[in-house]
Amino acid sequence: MDDTIEKKILEESQDFSIFSLFLQADLVVKLVIITLLISSIWSWTIIFTKYAYFKSIALDTIDFEERFYSSETLSKLSKSVGNHPGHPIEAVFFSAMVYFEKVKSGFNNKDFQLKKSFCDNVKKEMEIVIDKELLRLQKGLNFLASVGSTAPFIGLFGTVWGIMNSFTAIGISQNTSLAVVAPGIAEALFATALGLVAAIPAVLFYNKLNSMLENINNKLEIFSEEILVIISKEIFR
């Protein structure tokens, strides 16, 4: 009986390809591997999508800033933007101009406090829009952070489970040869490697995308201050 079990283990251990390791793995280890594979694929999907989108926003921001500084009046630029801003900096500009158009009839009012209150309200409107845009852009980044922090431990769990299976194989076969324990150790190490493969890119690109997002935020805040200065000059002149 023991010879039969040992022979079966030796036959199964001859193929150490990744696919074979997966097929030979315990159900728990299979679930760990599948979880890590799905997490890695989804992470790369987020990485490619977000990176391309943030790059596009950066180019659109530069283009809009050139139009903003070359435009004769804010009203003309507002008409060219229309009612459907296409990216964050247009959304910030649109929010300021919508509020500006609503109350511009009161510009002749000499009340200093009223004018100051108007400027404060414009600033708040733009801050709200900036916050909304940043929240929208941040979607998906938390998943990268979660994968980066949990994937190594999920892989480690698969490793521990695989090693437990190896010791079980030793107990069943009463044989401590490498051929008996190799399959369990191999699948255990595979789970560890897969955990690192999922975690490392997630951490690296989470930091990179956060840096790009911070640059977008800085540009939006600077741009909102510039709009506020122009509107203030228009009101207080």
- Taking the model in full, what pTM does it have? 0.77
54-63: average pLDDT:
90
Please write the tens of the pLDDT for every residue from 175-206. 666 665 666 677 778 888 889 999 999 999 99
210-224: average pLDDT:
92
Model pLDDT, residue 231: 77
Residue 127: pLDDT over 60 = yes
- Residue at 165: amino acid letter: N
Give the chain's length. Answer: 237
Model pLDDT, residue 2: 47
220 closest CA partner among 50, 75, 118, 93:
93
Please write the tens of the pLDDT for every residue from 132-165. 999 999 998 999 999 999 999 998 888 888 787 7
Q: How far apart are CA 126 and CA 136, in angstroms?
A: 15
Residues whose CB is less than 8 angstroms from the CB of residue 44 and which lie 6 or more positions away in sequence, other chains included = 201
* CA angle, 110 then 113 then 116, to 5°: 100
Q: How far apart are CA 12 and CA 126, in angstroms?
A: 65
Residue 88: pLDDT over 50 = yes
